[in-house]
Amino acid sequence: MSKRERNAEQSRLDILQAAEAEFASKGLYGARVDEIAALAGINKRMIYAYFGSKEALYMSVLQAVYKRMERAEAQLVADGLGGRDLIGAVIDLYFDFLAGDPQFVSIVMWENLNKAAYLKALPVQDLERPAFAYIRDAVAAGKALGVFRPELDEQDVALSLITACFANFSNCYTLSHLFERDLCCAEQIEQRKIETRAMLLAYLCL
Amino acid sequence: MSKRERNAEQSRLDILQAAEAEFASKGLYGARVDEIAALAGINKRMIYAYFGSKEALYMSVLQAVYKRMERAEAQLVADGLGGRDLIGAVIDLYFDFLAGDPQFVSIVMWENLNKAAYLKALPVQDLERPAFAYIRDAVAAGKALGVFRPELDEQDVALSLITACFANFSNCYTLSHLFERDLCCAEQIEQRKIETRAMLLAYLCL
DNA sequence: TTAGTAACTCACCAGTTAGTTACATTTTAA
DNA sequence: TTAAAATGTAACTAACTGGTGAGTTACTAA
């Protein structure tokens, strides 16, 4: 094996990146530490030196993955957008983020299959979800302007929005087979985005 | 080990049931053949006698699981139900089925994480989904009656409906943590059912 | 009885797995 | 300069894993 340059920071990042790919495709159980080491081009010992254990490594991956979502949400520039447009912007954000980050989708799915056991163990401040606030604000603004139905509950809306977006990505393989049609391709995702936006707005508006 | 009664049919069923539980909670990679044997109260050797391999056993489980969904869908008595009511009935069916069969949800998720590799290998006639036909009929009927928007595409509606229902179950653990609220309990599921019905109908109706 | 067979048990293997250790090399700081 | 800390390698281990060879038991039919 060729010698690695000594660079602790880079090595840490390489391990994290390789681990994320391995955990995303095989889950915590299925992932192999030796495979992660090989993928990162690093010796296995360093994984234990930097992260301590397979589980601890998984937790670091989980945190990094949710951090990406948080950053994407934080970039949502809400200035000047009213109720309708803001909801549309949030839907676009989710679709674009999920389409561009399949490893996020996979790891969230693994985490759910594991009853969120590791997510629960993560410090809550690492899981801020700015978009929740955007959705709350958007619904409140829309109601105040008289464009949204006044009886809407902000959390219900947020849940409807998130679930309606997510399942298009999490279930695209089985649905593609059942519908005998490739639902994972960019054009289909774009179509689903349009439909989802229409559905959500029909539900929100008077 | 205590002796088992000789009953090939029962043994097969015990193995299938144990395997489904094990595969649902740990996936194909994480599931242990020894664990399945212990759970079924049967000697591991018999799993290989009856099913040949871990993969073949998984395929049998997959087929049995989708069969349950098919049977539930087939029970949907559509007689006398018009566009609106039929759509409502399909949503109720999905919510009730998914709520009562968490192993179905888990195995579909695992299958998606595995890019539907094993589902694809299953004979298509074992995957009839009668509800697709119901949804098509309901949308067509609603359009003919002038209650649904005429530009609706039947497949888009089916996808919106299925994804909107499924994600409430597949993602309830991570969402419960992020919303700091138990979304997996019966009351919350009922609330989500009501919201989802309202959302879908708002999207379908003129 | 006897023989055939399906259902079953037991003990084992070859390969894999997470995690460890002995030791070499490089960096850092006094 | 040099000692210690950090970073690296490769070989190792104890436990586990899917799968199997060989033999046993219960039942049936001749």
Write down the pLDDT at residue A150. 95
A159 close contact with B: CB closer than 8 A: yes
Distance from residue B32 (CA) to nucleotide D18 (C1'), in Å?
Answer: 9
DSSP A14-36: HHHHHHHHHHHHHHHHH--HHHH
CATH of domain A62-204: 1.10.357.10
What is the fold, at CATH topology level, of the domain defined by B1-52? Arc Repressor Mutant, subunit A (1.10.10)
For B122-137, give the secondary structure using H, E and C. CCHHHHCCHHHHHHHH
Question: Does the distance separating the beta carbons of A163 and B116 come in below 8 Å?
Answer: no
Q: Which two tokens stand for residue B151?
A: 């530009």
Write down the pLDDT at residue A133. 80
Please give the residue that has the higher pLDDT: either A173 or B29. A173
For chain A, where do the domains classified as CATH 1.10.357.10 start and end? 62-204
User: Taking CA B205 as the corner, what is the angle to CA B202 and CA B206, rounded to the nearest 5 degrees?
Assistant: 115
Write down the pLDDT at residue A4. 67
For chain A, where do the domains classified as CATH 1.10.10.60 start and end? 1-52
Q: Please, which pLDDT band fits residue A6 given cuts at 50, 70 and 90?
A: low
Name the protein residue, with chain letter, whose CA is nearest the C1' of D7.
Answer: A6
For chain B, where do the domains classified as CATH 1.10.357.10 start and end? 65-204
Cα–Cα distance between A2 and A140 in angstroms, integer?
59
Contact A203, A87 (CB under 8 A): no
B65-204 is classed CATH 1.10.357.10:
yes
Q: Which range among A29-43, A117-131, A135-149 shows the weakest confidence by mean pLDDT?
A: A117-131
Please give the residue that has the higher pLDDT: either A124 or B114. B114
Q: Please, which pLDDT band fits residue A79 given cuts at 50, 70 and 90?
A: low
Q: What are phi and psi of B179, to 5 degrees?
A: -90, 0
The predicted model gives A90-101 an average pLDDT of 96
DSSP A76-142: ---TT--HHHHHHHHHHHHHHHHHH-HHHHHHHHHHHHTTTHHHHTS-GGGG--HHHHHHHHHHHHH
Reduce the DSSP state of residue B31 to 3 states and report it: coil
Distance from residue A116 (CA) to nucleotide D18 (C1'), in Å?
Answer: 29
The mean pLDDT value of chain A amounts to 90
Q: Which two tokens stand for residue B84?
A: 């609106």
Cα–Cα distance between B72 and B131 in angstroms, integer?
9
Residue type, B41: G
In sequence order, which residues have a C-beta less than 8 Å from that of residue A108 and are 6 or more positions away?
A: A65, A166, A170, B171, B174
A149 close contact with B: CB closer than 8 A: no
Contact A154, A139 (CB under 8 A): yes
Write down the pLDDT at residue B203. 96
Q: In chain A, which residue's Cα lies nearest the Cα of B128?
A: A178
Question: Does the distance separating the beta carbons of B196 and A198 come in below 8 Å?
Answer: no
Write down the pLDDT at residue B83. 77
Chain A residues with beta carbon closer than 8 angstroms to that of B164: 160, 163-164, 167, 199
Q: Which two tokens stand for residue A151?
A: 């009886």
Q: Which two tokens stand for residue B132?
A: 């697709």
Task: Name the pTM for this structure.
Answer: 0.93
Q: Please, which pLDDT band fits residue A1 given cuts at 50, 70 and 90?
A: very low
Tens of pLDDT, residue by residue, chain B (206 residues): 456 777 888 999 999 999 999 999 999 988 999 999 999 999 999 999 999 999 999 999 999 999 999 899 888 876 667 778 889 999 999 999 999 999 999 999 999 999 999 999 987 766 777 778 888 888 988 999 899 999 999 999 999 999 999 999 999 999 999 898 999 999 999 999 999 999 999 999 98
